[in-house]
Amino acid sequence: MSIKIGIVFAGQGAQYSGMGKDLYEAYPEAKKIFDMAGEQVKEWCFEGDEETLKQTHVTQPTIYTTTMAAYEALMARIKEEGLADKLEITALAGFSLGEYSALTAAGAIDDIAKGIEIVTRRGTLMQEAGMDEEGNNKGGMAAGLGDRQAVLEAVEEAREDGILEAVNFNSPSQTVVAGDKAAIKRFRRAAREKKIKAIPLGVSTAFHSPMMIPAAEKLKDVLTEAGLKTPEMKVYANVTADDMMKDFNGGDAGAYLADILSKQAMSPVHWDDIIKRFHGDGVKAIIEVGPGKTLTGLTKKTCPDIEALNVENAETLENTVEELKKLI
């Protein structure tokens, strides 16, 4: 009898200097992907400073590359340890940018080099959409920690004539808000009055908000040209928290996916509902792949009875393999 697991992929904000370096040194599968990505991406991952890595056109290809390197190394180790036939991956999911890693693992993006090109262009388009005419960032994001309804009320009170939306429903006690800088400032003030802790996030603009509409329109063309394919595994979509292909009635899978992924850039991420989907699948463990362990923490908050594991470096990869052996 096999053990059901889910795999989730890290999103933007998880980046840090040195990410992926020991994977590159320890696993030939990871080295191959970093070498494919090129010297610039390797330099950003292994040596980039915080300010450089925060730039969206840098963040997206570096996180994607590190994540896919970690995933390929993990799959190789699972096979080496004879665990592949004992584990059933019920579904994949990725947080925002991580959705592209999930689709690559599922075969919808059929080439990692293609994936790097897509997310690089996505990062550039989203960065441009978040800048004013002088080239300054015009938006931001903040995490509201506490009662969701109170966060949503603070958003309504603070929006006024600006852009302000709840965009990442991360866990029952964490809701991320995005908007223009003035609206974010008003939100933080309104949240404080409601005893909600509002923490500014280290991102360059207001992702998953209406500010991203211009990027989404251009991204759709990029994705259409990429020739995406029907996923070979189930992928839970950010925008619906359901099987991404649920409403696909045949025809052009690439056009269907391009539409969903372009909408994703300007729409909320229903992450806690995705974790509940995995719970409904009966998974025993969810493995977060990629830099950081943000999603691991969110899994514990949303469904504490699921084993939450992560793979971001050689140590956590080997620990995860050992934990999977125990589950089996």
pLDDT digits (tens, 9 = 90+) for 102-157: 999 999 999 999 999 999 999 999 999 999 888 888 999 999 999 999 999 999 99
Categorize the per-residue pLDDT at 13 as very low, low, confident or very high, splitting at 50, 70 and 90: confident
Which residues are tagged catalytic? 96, 208
pLDDT at 121: 95
pLDDT for 54 beyond 90:
no
Q: Which amino acid is at 296?
A: T
The total number of residues written for the chain in this structure: 328
pLDDT for 56 beyond 90:
no
Q: Give the tokens for residue 296.
A: 């691991």
pLDDT for 254 beyond 90:
yes
Beta-carbon contacts of 241 under 8 Å, excluding residues fewer than 6 positions away, are 270, 271, 273, 274, 276, 277
pLDDT for 261 beyond 90:
yes
- 8-state DSSP, 97: T
Residues 110-125: tens digit of each pLDDT:
999 999 999 999 999 9
Instruction: Return mean pLDDT, the chain.
Output: 96
